[in-house]
Chains A and B, each alone.
Chain A
Amino acid sequence: DAGVIQSPRHEVTEMGQEVTLRCKPISGHNSLFWYRQTMMRGLELLIYFNNNVPIDDSGMPEDRFSAKMPNASFSTLKIQPSEPRDSAVYFCASSLRGRVAEAFFGQGTRLTVV
């Protein structure tokens, strides 16, 4: 297994544009997490899914952020409209529910909003 796969690796966009980040979890994993990493705040949980269902989205900063998981092998995180303060590294991670929560992380998407 190639692990958790995120795309794109880097994204540079102008303020106001829509940004879509993608994630493919490890096959067989049924929990998926989206995290945001910044220098100031470290790693913050944005949202997580169990069996494709969003369980807790309390970490989503505002309505401009939305996440979907249409099936067990794909998830998206969308920001619309994007703002410069959204610039960060966004990580997707997956794990097996019912076991010790060791999440496997993707390599992240570095987003820069100018």
Chain B
Amino acid sequence: AQRVTQPEKLLSVFKGAPVELKCNYSYSGSPELFWYVQYSRQRLQLLLRHISRESIKGFTADLNKGETSFHLKKPFAQEEDSAMYYCALSSGSARQLTFGSGTQLTVLP
């Protein structure tokens, strides 16, 4: 069975400070990892996926298979980054997404 763990329910940082949202997973096969973001009163939307190795809105995430982690990072947080962030794993042929419990990021002025 697969599992996604986000150990921090709440995370606050000051504007301009680096931010890292932690995500660990357990899965026996080769997972596909994603980060989703939900801004206040908006729908959940895909932020980035590990296979793209892309940077979106200054965020990056590297899949570390040795540590089974997929932490989301941004060197300089902005107030508009305040949102709920979910790490998600897609596995096997079922093509379903397993979400972590989410981390509420607040960027303080």
Residues of A within 8 A of B (CB): 3, 31, 33, 35, 41-45, 48, 50, 55-56, 91, 93, 95, 97-98, 100-108
Given A42-B86, A91-B44: A103 and B97 interface contact (C-beta under 8 Å): yes
Smallest CB-CB A-B distances: 9 pairs = A42-B101, A101-B90, A43-B99, A105-B44, A42-B102, A107-B43, A101-B95, A105-B43, A102-B46
A43 CB contact (under 8 Å) in B42, B43, B86, B95: B86
A42 CB contact (under 8 Å) in B51, B90, B100: B100
Indicate if B70 sits at the interface (CB-CB under 8 A).
Answer: no
A31 CB contact (under 8 Å) in B32, B95, B99: B95
Residues of B within 8 A of A (CB): 32, 34, 42-46, 49, 51, 86, 90, 94-102
Say yes or no: B98 contacts A97, CB within 8 Å: no
For B34, B45, B97, B99, the residue with the greatest tally of chain A CB atoms inside 10 Å of its CB is B97
B42: nearest chain-A partner, CB-CB: A107
- Give the chain A neighbours of B49 by CB distance below 8 A: 100, 102
Say yes or no: A33 contacts B97, CB within 8 Å: yes
- Give the chain A neighbours of B101 by CB distance below 8 A: 41-43
Q: How far is the CB of A50 from chain B (nearest CB, A)?
A: 8
- Give bound CA distance, A41 to B98, whole Å: 13
For A42, A45, A106, the residue with the greatest tally of chain B CB atoms inside 10 Å of its CB is A42
- Give bound CA distance, A53 to B80, whole Å: 40
